């Protein structure tokens, strides 16, 4: 039985790289639309994929055997393994509120910006800088 590794939505870029991860697919998935997802294959097999695919599905069909389907076509790939990575930065930083700036720093920048709004203030800032 096939195991679905990734179901991409939209454009998927296909890149050849150096060993050990010699084929990499990158795009957004239907399950995690805000997290860029990468599927990398450890293979020495030469696969003739176009530079981009649309709505690709990646499946493990057996140990060391993978299938990539897109646009009514499919490619079979023999690989030692596949690695699926998702960039969880967007949901992570959405879950953590930003730390507020300390009151002293906010006051300092308000003062600097207020001084920079006038010619006399700019002259004072230049004098303090020297």
Q: SS3 sequence, 3-62?
A: EEEEEECCEEEEEECCCCCCEEEEEEECCCCCCEEEEEEECCCCCCCCCEEECCEEEEEE
Q: Token pair 């995690």 is at which residue?
A: 32
- pLDDT of residue 1 exceeding 80: no
**48 and 89 share a domain?**
yes
Q: How many domains are contained in the chain?
A: 2
Q: Is the pTM of this model over 0.75?
A: no
pLDDT in tens, 95-127: 888 888 999 999 999 999 999 999 999 999 999
Are 66 and 103 in the same domain? no
Name the residue with higher pLDDT: 52 or 2: 52
Q: Are residues 81 and 105 in the same domain?
A: no
Residue 19: per-residue pLDDT: 75
Neighbours of 43 (CB within 10 A): 20
Instruction: Give CA–CA dist 51/18, Å, rounded.
Output: 17
**SS3 call for 103:** helix
User: Based on the domain organization, do 78 and 42 belong to the same domain?
Assistant: yes
Query: Residue 28, Cβ neighbours under 10 Å: how many?
Result: 17
Residues 80 and 123 in one domain: no
Same domain, 69 and 107: no
User: What is the percent of the chain where pLDDT is above 70?
Assistant: 100
Clarify whether residues 37 and 85 are in a common domain. Answer: yes
User: Same domain for 114 and 63?
Assistant: no
pLDDT at 21 over 90: no
Domain co-membership, 62 together with 108: no
Same domain for 112 and 76, yes or no, is no
Residue 114 DSSP code: H
Structural domain boundaries enclosing 29: 3-93
Same domain for 82 and 124? no
Q: What is the mean pLDDT of the chain?
A: 91
- Residues 73, 114 share a domain: no
Cα 55-58-4 angle, rounded to 5 deg = 110
Beta-bridged to residue 23, according to DSSP, are 16, 41
């Amino acid at each position: 039985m096939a195991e679905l590794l990734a179901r991409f939505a939209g454009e998927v870029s296909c890149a050849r790289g150096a060993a050990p991860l010699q084929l990499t697919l990158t795009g957004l998935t239907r399950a995690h639309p805000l997290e860029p997802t990468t599927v990398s294959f450890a293979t020495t097999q030469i696969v003739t994929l176009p530079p981009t695919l649309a709505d690709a599905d990646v499946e493990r069909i057996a140990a060391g055997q993978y299938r990539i389907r897109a646009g009514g076509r499919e490619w079979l790939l023999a690989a030692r393994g596949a690695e699926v990575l998702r960039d969880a930065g967007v949901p992570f930083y959405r879950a953590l509120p930003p730390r507020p700036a300390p009151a002293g720093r906010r006051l300092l920048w308000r003062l600097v910006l207020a001084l920079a709004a006038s010619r006399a203030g700019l002259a004072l800032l230049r004098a303090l800088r020297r």
